[in-house]
Amino acid sequence: MMESITRFLEDRLHLNVNAEKIAVAPVWERKFLGYRLLHTGKLGFAPRSITKFRERIRQITSWNHAASLAAINDEVNTFAAG
């Protein structure tokens, strides 16, 4: 089935298919642009996205980050919002 779909995408739609990234798996096991579908059908964040978000917040709020509390608060709010 995947071979048929890949052939259709490449031949008819002229799209490049990256064989390393494609897989057949339940939808809640795959991620797309940092998101995944949960068992309930709702959209959730991919685990790696959550990890990267937490690491960045820890970096901003570390004691080695030389800035005032107000500046750190502004930076966290800007990062979290955007």
Q: What single letter denotes the amino acid at residue 52?
A: K
Q: How far apart are the first and last CA of the chain?
A: 39
Task: Give the pLDDT confidence score for residue 5 in this predicted structure.
Answer: 86
Q: What is the pTM of this model?
A: 0.63
Total structural domains in the chain?
Answer: 1
Query: Structural domain of residue 8, as residue ranges?
Result: 2-81
Could you tell me the pLDDT band of residue 14, with boundaries at 50, 70 and 90?
very high
**Cα pseudo-dihedral 47, 52, 54, 58, rounded to 10:** 160
CA distance 73 to 50: 20
Quote the CA–CA distance of 53 and 40 in Å, as a whole number. Answer: 24
Whether the pLDDT of residue 50 is over 90: the answer is yes
Between 39 and 76, residue with greater pLDDT: 76
- Indicate whether 20 pLDDT > 80: yes
pLDDT category of residue 75 using cuts at 50, 70 and 90: very high
Strands (E), 1-82: 35-37, 43-45
Residues 67 and 55: beta-carbon distance below 8 Å? no
